[in-house]
Copies of this chain bind each other. A is one copy, B any other.
């Protein structure tokens, strides 16, 4: 169906009808000048992410439903990285004329699936024509106990540096998708990409998850992260953010960086440096954080969290310690669309 058959308000009605609220903080959702929310005595967290076709995603190999899911999850990840719980999102969409109602429903199906999985309410947004590509801006609100947000600015020398999950997989998944897409474009139409044994890195790229489980485990252990950030632009970039905001340095050990074997195999196949991929790949949506040294045992109790180094005084700089114990200055070579 052509979107023009429904118009803006018809499309919004169709996309947002049957939304049932999951959070008591959601008082009024889609359909007024603004949504109305009540957070009681908790603090409000708010973050926004802009995703543009041709810059952040390529619809030749990203299904719209996956794109919707990922667009929402990357915002939830920012709320978790503050130690909070995502509660509501607003979705702004700019849609060019090549999209049908069914396309937008696919995208929304992904967004709504993510909302269901993470217990988030869709409460508003804006829907508009676009003369160019697809534009998605998602704003996410969440809450946290007063004064308990985990910022980027509290890391102290001797703190342990921790990261959840593994790194570099989403980046290698992207390399694989781009290669197969190029091959497909040059092959006859019966070409079938071979993704066998590479499901994990593909899923990391196409359908990442936010680490709610890690935040919950940290709260359960009564751990007190002194700083936290989510890994969206690459470990190097995020380490430098923590160091800058906390006015500290760091030592991170190359051999401690968690990497999945599919990531390693793929890097070998592409003849790429594995550590570079893990340090600069981006889109991992893992949590990078620091805890006081005395809390090492609490971290050891949490499955899937690795201690990769420690915080130093600022004058010692931010260094990667290689396998042969030489120190290499960490530089932000990760994702930066404006460089």
Provided the pairs A36-B149, A128-B50, A128-B55 are in contact, do residues A139 and B142 lie with their beta carbons within 8 angstroms?
no
Q: Are B81 and A129 in contact (CB under 8 A)?
A: no
Q: Ordered nearest first, which 6 A-B pairs have the shortest CB separation?
A: A132-B132, A137-B137, A50-B92, A34-B47, A129-B337, A33-B81
Q: Which residue of B lies closest to A132 (CB)?
A: B132
Name which of A37-45, A260-268, A275-283 contacts chain B: A37-45
Q: List 16 A-B contacts (CB under 8 A).
A: A8-B338, A9-B336, A28-B149, A32-B245, A33-B47, A33-B81, A36-B43, A44-B44, A46-B139, A46-B141, A47-B90, A48-B92, A52-B129, A55-B94, A55-B128, A127-B338
**In the complex, A54 has a CB within 8 A of chain B:** yes
Contact of A34 among B37, B45, B92, B125 (CB under 8 A): B45
**In the complex, A123 has a CB within 8 A of chain B:** yes
A92: B residues at CB distance < 8 A: 48-50, 137
For this chain, the copies found in one complex come to: 2
Number of interface residues of A (CB under 8 A): 77
**In the complex, A216 has a CB within 8 A of chain B:** no
Contact of A90 among B38, B48, B142, B338 (CB under 8 A): B48
Q: Which residue of B lies closest to A144 (CB)?
A: B36
**In the complex, A339 has a CB within 8 A of chain B:** yes
**In the complex, A328 has a CB within 8 A of chain B:** no
Provided the pairs A41-B41, A131-B55, A151-B32 are in contact, do residues A46 and B338 lie with their beta carbons within 8 angstroms?
no
Q: Are B52 and A45 in contact (CB under 8 A)?
A: no
Q: Taking beta carbons and an 8 Å cutoff, which residues of A are in contact with B?
A: 3-4, 6-9, 11, 27-28, 31-41, 43-50, 52-56, 77-79, 81-82, 84, 88, 90, 92-95, 123-133, 135, 137, 139-142, 144, 146, 149, 151-153, 228-230, 245, 332, 336-339
Contact of A55 among B53, B84, B130 (CB under 8 A): B130
Roughly how many angstroms separate A132 CA and B146 CA in the complex, as a whole number?
Answer: 41
A8: B residues at CB distance < 8 A: 336-339
Contact of A125 among B3, B7, B48 (CB under 8 A): B48
Provided the pairs A93-B50, A149-B36 are in contact, do residues A336 and B55 lie with their beta carbons within 8 angstroms?
no
Roughly how many angstroms separate A54 CA and B133 CA in the complex, as a whole number?
Answer: 12
Roughly how many angstroms separate A229 CA and B43 CA in the complex, as a whole number?
Answer: 28
